[in-house]
Amino acid sequence: MSRILGHPVVAFLARRIVYSAIVLLGVMVVTFALVQLVPGDPVRIALGTRYTPEAYDALRAASGLDRPLPQQFLSYLGGVLTGDLGVSFRDGQAVAVTLMDRLPATVSLAAVGLLIAMLISVPLGIWAALHEGRISDAAIRIGSQFGVSIPDFWLGMLLITLFSVTLGWFPSSGYIPISQSVGGWAHQVALPGLTVGLVAGAIMTRYIRAAVLEVVDMSYVRTARSKGLPRHTVTFRHIVRNALVPVLTIAGIQLATILGGVIVVEVVFAWPGLGRLVYDAVLMRDYSLIQGAVLLIAALFLLVNLIVDVLYAIIDPRIRLS
């Protein structure tokens, strides 16, 4: 038992789990404090035209909002520890159930966006670095700078105008789960996935170019060239392989960023994911739903970073998890 606990991988995972728990506790405290600053009475908004003083008092007591803030937070913290994220004001459904219903849509959109970004950025970034100073390098850098500068909502509307309104190739909104129809899901996810992927791809291209440039000048690369190794061997065995660690870091950060930052894209394409859910929850002052969604997104962010850190050691044996 002691040998298992003393293993570097187990010790590393234990430290990261403790670190993640502390971060999530911080996220809960900050989110709870911030939602209290949001103007508007959530109970009054939830009742709408059904408002009466009696209904107001009953719903306020049932939701626990009539208790002091410290008691509300301790109750929320206790619920999270037992898997209970509360009940949504919007539809009276358990927050955990609502989040699990929306999670597949966001994960599928993020996965498609990251795949498109990788397909764009990896070849372009490597090509630009290996042809530094040439016309192709300049064209890729200008193109990536243009992509970084484009707001994702503007790009989304541009793609809708071109491929949905003008050409009629893809729908501008809607979502079909992949479990129902793979073809229908791919048809629906094309435009929002392309929006996310193009912006993320532009960002990643610049990072990958810089990462490869650092490796190109390393002594072991010059040694490999001096030995007369074929160019493709030097490129893929010595340059690309050693540049994978920073590329993996960038991909992990981008995936985590996409998971937590697709609100605008999901709103533009009426995509029923976590981003759209947070947007609606803020409009409804649905405190439980906001807190639950932010906590879930933070947990996904930490999970992605943990997976990336573990993959470091697989790609590069020189890296020790300790």
CB 126 within 8 A of CB 212: yes
Q: What is the largest CA-CA distance in the chain?
A: 86
What domains are defined for the chain? 8-95 (no CATH), 96-315 (1.10.3720.10)
Return d(Cα 89, Cα 289) in angstroms, integer: 8
Residue 94 forms beta bridges with which residues?
87
| 3-class SS of residue 87 | strand
pLDDT confidence of 317, banded at 50, 70, 90? low
Average pLDDT, the chain: 82
Whether pTM > 0.85 for this model: the answer is no
Judged by average pLDDT, the poorest of 46-60, 129-143, 193-207 is 46-60
**pLDDT at residue number 71:** 86
How deeply is 232 buried, as exposed, middle or buried, from its count of CB atoms within 10 A (0-12, 13-18, 19+)?
exposed
**pLDDT at residue number 119:** 92
Return d(Cα 181, Cα 189) in angstroms, integer: 12
Question: Position of tokens 């966006």?
Answer: 113
| 3-class SS of residue 262 | coil
**pLDDT at residue number 116:** 92
CB 239 within 8 A of CB 154: no
- Kindly report, residue by residue over 282-295, the tens digit of the pLDDT: 887 788 888 888 88
**Residue 94 pLDDT > 70, yes or no?**
yes
CB 42 within 8 A of CB 284: yes
**Per the structure block, which two tokens stand in for 239?**
């340059």
CA dihedral sign, ordered 217, 220, 221, 225: positive
**Per the structure block, which two tokens stand in for 14?**
């234990």
- Kindly report, residue by residue over 146-173, the tens digit of the pLDDT: 888 888 888 888 999 999 899 989 888 8
Give the list of residues 6+ apart from residue 174 with CB closer than 8 angstroms, or none: 188, 270
Q: Which amino acid is at 293?
A: A
- Kindly report, residue by residue over 168-194, the tens digit of the pLDDT: 898 888 888 888 888 888 988 999 999
**Residue 322 pLDDT > 60, yes or no?**
no
